[in-house]
Structure 1
Amino acid sequence: MKRAFLSRLAVSLALMLAAAPVTGQAEEPLVIHVGYAAIGVDNRPYAEGTSAATARAGEFLEKEFANDRNVKIEWTFFKGAGPAVNEGFANDQLDFAYQGDLPSLIGRANGLKTKYLLASGARKPLYLAVAKASGIKSIEDLKGRKIALQRGTNGHLAAIKVLEAHGLKERDVQVVNLDSAGTVAALTSKDIDAAFGDTQLINLAAKGAADVIYTTKGDDPRFGRNAGIIGREAFIDAHPEITQRVVDAFVKAAQWSSDEPNRAALLELWHKSGTPVPILEEYFKGDALAYRNSPLIDELLVSQYKEQGEKSKEFGLIRRDVDLEGWFEPRYLNSAIERFGLLHFWQAYGADGKPVAS
């Protein structure tokens, strides 16, 4: 009987323990998934040329949440660029991402629930490089030639606009869809005649393997590319305070990236991507850091996205109109700028491209 009593007591205690609330158990960490619509040389998980790249290489987000054991930052760099980022958002695998204008507009047109939180990598120039001995001296000479670009990216749309300005349409050239690494290989081997891109083409020209014959830098600003930090609407609604801190971190990265005394250190930081510092120097030559790294959602940026949406439909890249009403969400950015005393740090521009008086 004693043995039976002890057995029943053990069972009762086990049931009581199972029913009792658990205290002191560690909370499940909140993982913030951040995507980047590019990847470094040889698939390095870094990028260059934007304040978002600075945030990654300088660990600005990690430092923001360093004292929060239950918040983790996870970066993903996409070889498939903007279209791959859209897949990540569609599958709820991303909470925030750096993404160019065309793919983010395609995502918007297709019903992705996102918000545009701040600019990053806006006003990026586009370059056109041609194979050695190709005989191509001007954009007009591209007619009928084999041209590489990465479809669905902001470079794709910018390239079409450049072609249009010189009397050509996309169907007038033979487009080959290649990522950065594929473009470098094909241009070097002369499997293609020309390519649109940026630092990888500057680097190729510096090695004597191609010739850069055109850049949008110094040309019509509408030919340039824009990008920004996009957030998943459901995450923003569920975690507004976390969202604010994420934006705070990106704004701090933009501020540091915009400060001219940091230019040398900035290029060294971006060198983690594998892009040589001299190439980055050339890429930013003649441009103020604050101009290229501004996070502002100003009239120029908004008008550019509206124009990109219209052009995207006109060129057949998007089948339906893009509704941008309510997409831009500047309140987190504005809060950070005000709290950090940065109200006059960056110059805002009007839709006409001219500076707006403070």
Structure 2
Amino acid sequence: MPTPILASRRGRLGTLALLALALASGAQADVLRIGVASAGGGDPVTFGGSSLSIARNQQVLEKAFEGSGTEVQWFFFKGAGPAVNEALSNQQIDFAYEGDLPSVVGRANGLDTRLLAAIGTRSNVYVAVPKGSDIHSLKDLQGRKVAIFRGTNGHLLAIKVLATQGLTERDLKVINLDTGSTQAALAARGVDAGFGGYELFKLRDQSLVDIIYDNSENDPVYTRQTALVVRSSYEQAHPEQVQKVVNAVVDAARWASDSANQPAVFAEWAKSGAPVASWEADYQGQSLKVRQSPLLDGFLQARYQGVADQAYEQKLIRRPVTVQGWFEPRYLNTALQAKGLQGFWTGYGPDGKQAEAAATASAPAPFKAVEVNHEPG
């Protein structure tokens, strides 16, 4: 098996080659390019856990642009958020589905985007150890080899989770592994533990690992957020295309939020290679409607600002970042109003537990933080 560095490099080069071809074809036709911060799985390649993956599987976007002369293209990045940011910076994609930390890092480095809608929130992080390990708690991770996918939205959350037990990354022997490599390393006992998401349940059900941390209280503070972002230059040049994309995302989120559709939703996500049982485990005690809400509510704003502040404290970014002026709710507001969905989802306050007075797409009062400097860095 190639080393993680080589695997990541090969995946990145392959994706860039595909993007180069897309750019060449884009000279001949109108192309809308969407980047996904995941290697994906299945045939055709897809992903799970969000309304955008439903849109991918059911070709909601392709149908929305049918007859318009616009071709929708999807690109999957094994290098996750950092690789997506590179593609956004090089104007190789127009929209991106990525987690909170990579988005914040991109903004801190001068990447000019607008955050349009939540696309899967409150995703838990889990810690797995090889079956039969003598590691039974987070405390036992001290001095052990632990896989963490650095630079992703799971990275900062891993730091936050470790801090609950008075641990930091320096207390561990951290190995930077992507999602697939983490699973392989756990199965082969190449690491003592690994942070990850729903994909770890597949290994658990194969009796390869034990889950020693799972945020059993479902505390929203210890969850990951993902969203849909667009390059600002694209948004300014093609507002009608952006509105169509957001409309399609809202349609997919409405369908995915219906509890009656839960078996069908999980079946759609299972096309990515993660079995239905993994999604059932990941959603235990949680609501599709809450996690699939597209609202740019107080909770989402607070979590992105919290991630930005923590990233600065941890020296993962060199400049403070504020969410003020970054979130762009007008497309989501238009879609909700047109579809009569203004009150369908509940907007939550900063703690993620108390409902806001009114569910709207707009974020409430802006946070007081230093505005990001959009100089390259």
1:234-262 alpha-carbon deviations (Å, 9 max, x no partner): 00000001110011011111111101111
> Matches of 1:275 and 1:133 in 2, distance apart?
23
Partner of 1:260: 259
Any conservation in 1 of the 2:132–2:210 contact (CA below 8 Å)? Answer: no
Amino acid at match of 1:46: T
1:53-97 alpha-carbon deviations (Å, 9 max, x no partner): 1111111111111121x1010000111000000001010001001
Partner of 1:32: 32
Partner of 2:205: 206
- Tell whether 2:327 aligns with 1:332: no
Query: Per-residue deviation at 1:335?
Result: 0.5
Partner of 2:118: 119
Query: Per-residue deviation at 1:270?
Result: 1.1
Partner of 2:63: 63
1:163-182 correspondence to structure 2 within 5 Å: 163-182=162-181
Query: Per-residue deviation at 1:44?
Result: 6.0
Distance 1:129 1:43, change over 3 A: farther
Query: Per-residue deviation at 1:181?
Result: 1.2
3-state SS of 1:344 partner: coil
Query: Per-residue deviation at 1:173?
Result: 0.6
**What stretches of structure 2 of length at least 5 have no aligned partner?**
1-26, 359-377
> Matches of 1:91 and 1:318 in 2, distance apart?
20
Amino acid at match of 1:129: A
1:1-358 correspondence to structure 2 within 5 Å: 28-41=28-41, 45-68=45-68, 70-353=69-352, 354-358=354-358
> Matches of 1:176 and 1:344 in 2, distance apart?
45
Query: Per-residue deviation at 1:134?
Result: 2.3
3-state SS of 1:87 partner: helix
**What stretches of structure 1 of length at least 5 have no aligned partner?**
1-26
Amino acid at match of 2:204: A
Distance 1:296 1:234, change over 3 A: same
Partner of 2:13: none
Amino acid at match of 1:348: G
3-state SS of 2:124 partner: coil
Instruction: Select the structure of larger CA radius of gyration.
Output: 1
Any conservation in 1 of the 2:41–2:271 contact (CA below 8 Å)? Answer: no
1:106-145 alpha-carbon deviations (Å, 9 max, x no partner): 0000000100000011111111111123211111111111
Query: Per-residue deviation at 1:222?
Result: 1.0
Structure 1 length as normaliser, TM-score? 0.90
> Matches of 1:58 and 1:42 in 2, distance apart?
14
Any conservation in 1 of the 2:146–2:194 contact (CA below 8 Å)? Answer: yes
> Matches of 2:36 and 2:226 in 1, distance apart?
11
> Matches of 2:218 and 2:281 in 1, distance apart?
17
3-state SS of 1:160 partner: helix
> Matches of 1:147 and 1:218 in 2, distance apart?
23
Structure 2 length as normaliser, TM-score? 0.85
Query: Per-residue deviation at 1:325?
Result: 2.4
1:139-177 alpha-carbon deviations (Å, 9 max, x no partner): 111111111111100000110000011100111111111
3-state SS of 1:323 partner: coil
Amino acid at match of 2:355: P
> Matches of 1:277 and 1:47 in 2, distance apart?
13
Any conservation in 2 of the 1:109–1:323 contact (CA below 8 Å)? Answer: no
Any conservation in 2 of the 1:45–1:76 contact (CA below 8 Å)? Answer: no
> Matches of 1:314 and 1:229 in 2, distance apart?
25
Distance 1:49 1:236, change over 3 A: same
Partner of 2:9: none
Any conservation in 2 of the 1:125–1:217 contact (CA below 8 Å)? Answer: no
Partner of 1:12: none
> Matches of 2:273 and 2:42 in 1, distance apart?
8
3-state SS of 1:237 partner: helix
1:19-41 alpha-carbon deviations (Å, 9 max, x no partner): xxxxxxxx942100001101224
Query: Per-residue deviation at 1:305?
Result: 0.6
Aligned-residue identity in percent: 47
Any conservation in 2 of the 1:44–1:274 contact (CA below 8 Å)? Answer: no
Query: Per-residue deviation at 1:198?
Result: 1.2
> Matches of 1:120 and 1:42 in 2, distance apart?
21
Partner of 1:15: none
> Matches of 1:229 and 1:108 in 2, distance apart?
14
Distance 1:108 1:43, change over 3 A: farther
Number of aligned positions between the proteins: 331
Amino acid at match of 2:66: A
Query: Per-residue deviation at 1:323?
Result: 3.2
> Matches of 2:29 and 2:251 in 1, distance apart?
24
State the Cα RMSD in Å: 1.4
3-state SS of 1:356 partner: coil
